[in-house]
Homo-oligomer: A and B are copies of this chain.
Amino acid sequence: MSEPREIPVHIIESLKSLGLTKYEALVYIGLLRVAGATATEIHEISGVPRASVYPVLDRLMQKSLVSVSHTSPKRFNATPPDDGIDSLMHRIEEDAAQAREALTAIYREKAEEHRADQEFIWSIYGQENIQGRLTDLIRNAGKEIRMVANWNLLSETILPLLRQARGAIAVEVVTDFWEGEVPEGVAVHVHRHCMKHEQCENHPPMENAGVFIVDGAKVLVWMGSSGEETSALYSESPGFVQFFSRYWTNIRDWVKLSNQ
């Protein structure tokens, strides 16, 4: 019988975020390795105390991750990983749907004080989070979007968004490089410090950076502070918007000029 072999912790963690406990994860994994095992065998394989194995198996059965044979001694079997995880995800997605509904209801009936979005400057942390917010912003744009952004960010995140979600929205872009086709309805100003993109690496690898002005009313400033966690500012404050509108116009005019 194989010893309680070392299980990578990150698997346990993944399973935990699917709603399992450490023991449940260990037992389930153990049962995947040895089908039709007895409680004692499971104990040996997984390293989980024998006495704890029984309640854990009960919970796993409720979650449909194991089935049991009513022999003596009882033997247990794991449902295949794909089925098992599907089952877990199904539960979670139900909860997500419920939460979505309930929270949207709450969200709609909130006091309509717009001070929140209008007067303040909000910070957002983390690549994914910023990207998500930006996605939202572009999708809900009404008339026009002006932006300064480096090519990396532009090509990987922004362009795909523009391609699908834009319906008669004017887009004006200032960037440091361009390659490939320019989508219809998009005006591009390139300030080439160099001819090939790879050569631009004297500028430190500012991973993602850009300013996005939507409908002259909303601004998102993405600061790719290389090294630390990236962060972004978002605001609908008129002063903030005006400041970056001017900043953007300056940049664009300067680039146009230097390209002549």
Q: With contacts A95-B17, A107-B32, A123-B67 known, is A100 near B116, CB below 8 A?
A: no
Q: 6 closest A-B pairs (Cβ-Cβ)? A: A36-B116, A35-B116, A64-B129, A81-B103, A69-B120, A14-B95
The count of chain A contact residues (Cβ–Cβ below 8 Å) is: 72
A202: which B residues are within 8 A, CB to CB? Answer: none
Instruction: Flag if A92 contacts B18 (CB, 8 Å).
Output: yes
A residues lining the B interface (CB < 8 Å): 8, 10-11, 13-15, 17-19, 29, 32-36, 61-62, 64, 67-71, 75, 77-93, 95-96, 98-100, 102-104, 106-107, 109-111, 113, 115-117, 119-126, 128-129, 132-133, 136, 234
User: Which residue, of A8, A13, A35, A136, has the highest number of chain B Cβ atoms within 10 A?
Assistant: A35
Is B87 touching A34 in the complex (CB atoms < 8 A)? no
Q: A86-B132, A96-B89 are in contact. Are A113 and B35 (CB under 8 A)?
A: yes
The chain B residue sitting closest to A61, CB to CB, is B125
Chain copies in complex: 2
Does B64 contact A99, Cβ atoms closer than 8 Å? no
> Whole-angstrom distance between the alpha carbons of A130 and B120 in the complex?
53
| A113 and B37 alpha carbons, distance in the complex (Å) | 11
Q: Which residues of B contact A106 (CB under 8 A)?
A: 29, 32-33, 81
Contact among B99, B109, B116 with A77 in the assembled complex (CB-CB below 8 Å)? B116
A165 to B17, CA, bound (A): 32
Contact indicator A18/B96 (Cβ below 8 Å)? yes
Asked whether A18 lies within 8 Å of B132 as measured between CB atoms, the reply is no
Complex CA–CA separation, A128 to B65 (angstroms)? 12
A110 touching B15 by the CB < 8 A rule?
Answer: no
* Chain B contacts for A17, CB-based, 8 A: 19, 91-92, 95
